[in-house]
Structure 1
Amino acid sequence: MRPKALYVETVIRTDLDTLWRHTQDPDLHRRWDLRFAEIAPIEGLDGHFRYASRLLGVTVAGVGVSVVSRDWPDGSRTSVLRFASADPLSLISAGAGFWRYTPAPGGVRFVTGFDYGTRWGRFGQLADRVFRPVFGWLTAWSVDRLRLWLENGVAPEDQPLTAPSAARCGRTRPRDQLTAGAPA
């Protein structure tokens, strides 16, 4: 059985341009997103970036590219990206995802969804059974950290680790919610 793509959503009491800037600017993004120790543009390649994650003293690096950004007639925006790592220590080989920003009463509904392939054969698939839920939790925790920053003005570095909560974010895609109680 193929694992589910990761999905996180929340409403952030801010304007769309501010949220867009804090998610698209590598220097701002790196500050709130616990998954990344580094995010830096690749000079001369518009939309391309390098990223690095560190866990227990191990650094894993990769590259990404914003493949498209689109403004929609309803006032929302979407950003789509691809990412990959040739690092043999990286469980993730390659993946893709999106960020959707939709104006909502009192703020912006921010949604991210992404999926990836693993390396290391059967062992990688088994390791992903532990990694994927942790990665999803880290994503939700980080999105709530961003929410707290934009709503309360408390910089991510100044927030206690217990302030953000992954539980404040939705983690089930809407169509999954509709079919969750349906008979098999």
Structure 2
Amino acid sequence: MGEHQGGKFSRTRGQIYVEIGIRASMERLWTLSQDPDLHPRWDLRFSRIVPRDGDDGGPVSFRYEFRLPFHTISGTGTSLGHRRRADGQATSVLKFTTRDALSPIGPGSGYWRYIPTAEGVRFITGYNYQPGMGTLGKLLDGRVIRPALGWATAISFDRLRLWAERDLDPGDSRNRWIIDAAARSGGFLASALLLRRALTGPFAGAAAAVGVAAAMASCFLPAHRTVPRAGRCLRLAPDERAGRAPSALVALPSPGGGGLPAGEE
């Protein structure tokens, strides 16, 4: 349940898949991930989630927001969670859509799996969507938007892990990531200045050596264990079931007819 460097396959073409091992109880992880007030605190993909209606044990409709500097993207969704299963697992499925022309993400669907292990819980997500923003969105999707979403999902999962395992507030883990990123950027800048001096000024050998050392430290010095990292997540499904949506997703109502179908178990 440490860092993951690879996987075997992703069943659905284009699907974003993220998995992380979390040393916490199922109950704690379920609460932190399913509570609409707690979820946006660790998940970079949402600024706000507002439940609208739904019966206990049935589908729940919700409105979501993602705040940008000069615009707030909003949309609607439908979700359904299964907390109790005979095999000890839990699942949650959702479909979502938006009419916002500036949203890079159009109608889509996804799932979460909570799989108990001897050390805690395997927490898994897989989701797919139709690109938004018309032709521009389609051009940017594969090279920019999906990689950015995959990274945002992975680092969000590690923030959740730190919250569940160490009780480290997601705001604090975000600040630690910013400090780490700033320190590494400063190291690269110092390296560039030193290497430039090595070419134009005195003490060329010493400046070059220190510049190379600064660059290598910025690249390879491990982040502190309390700094969230996307690299701690698995990004490809290691087995067929993990990369396949629960069958409940097929029957889940779409919010405004926008959801994408997914494979059944």
TM bin, normalised by shorter chain, reads: 0.7 to 0.9
Partner amino acid for 2:40?
R
Q: How far did 1:75 drift?
A: 0.3
Percent of pairs with identical residues: 48
Do the aligned partners of 1:67 and 1:82 also contact (CA within 8 Å) in 2? Answer: no
Q: Which residue of 1 aligns with 2:66?
A: 53
Q: For residues 26 and 80 of structure 2, what CA distance do their matches in structure 1 show?
A: 20
Stretches of structure 1 lacking an aligned partner (at least 5 in a row) = 177-184
| Deviation of 1:123 (Å) | 2.2
Instruction: Identify which of 134, 140, 144 aligns with 2:154.
Output: 140
Report the CA distance between 1:120 and its aligned residue.
Answer: 3.7
Matches within 5 A, 1:4-23: 4-23=14-33
Q: Does 1:150 align with 2:164?
A: yes
8 Å contact from structure 1 (residues 8, 140) kept in 2: yes
Superposition pairs of residues 143-182 of structure 1, within 5 angstroms: 143-159=157-173, 160-162=175-177, 163-175=227-239
Say what the alpha-carbon RMSD is for the aligned residues.
1.8
Give the structure with the higher percent strand. Answer: 1
- Give the structure with the larger helix fraction: 2
Deviation at 1:40, TM superposition (A): 1.2
Distance 1:161 1:91 in 2: 28
> How much has 1:57 moved relative to structure 2?
3.3
Counterpart of 1:101?
Answer: 114
Aligned residues between the structures: 174
In structure 2, the CA distance between the partners of 1:89 and 1:121, relative to structure 1 (3 Å rule), is closer
* Cα offset, 1:53, TM superposition: 0.9
Q: Superposed, which structure 2 residues align to 1:68-83 within 5 Å?
A: 68-69=81-82, 71-83=84-96
Question: How many angstroms does 1:91 deviate by?
Answer: 1.7
Measured in 2, the distance between the counterparts of 1:54 and 1:161 equals 22
Deviation at 1:48, TM superposition (A): 1.2
> Which of 89, 111, 116 is equivalent to 2:102?
89
The alignment status of 1:64 with 2:77, answered yes or no, reads yes
Q: Deviations over 1:59-82 (max 9, x none)?
A: 111111114536332100111100
Measure the CA separation in 2 of the matches of 1:16 and 1:97.
20
Question: Distance in 2 between the 1:131 and 1:119 partners?
Answer: 10
Larger radius of gyration: 2
Unaligned segments of structure 2, at least 5 residues: 1-11, 178-226, 241-265
Instruction: With the length of structure 1 as denominator, give the TM-score of the two structures.
Output: 0.87
Please state whether the residue corresponding to 2:37 is helix, strand or coil. helix
Per the normalisation by structure 2, the TM-score is 0.62
Whether 1:37 aligns to 2:47 is: yes
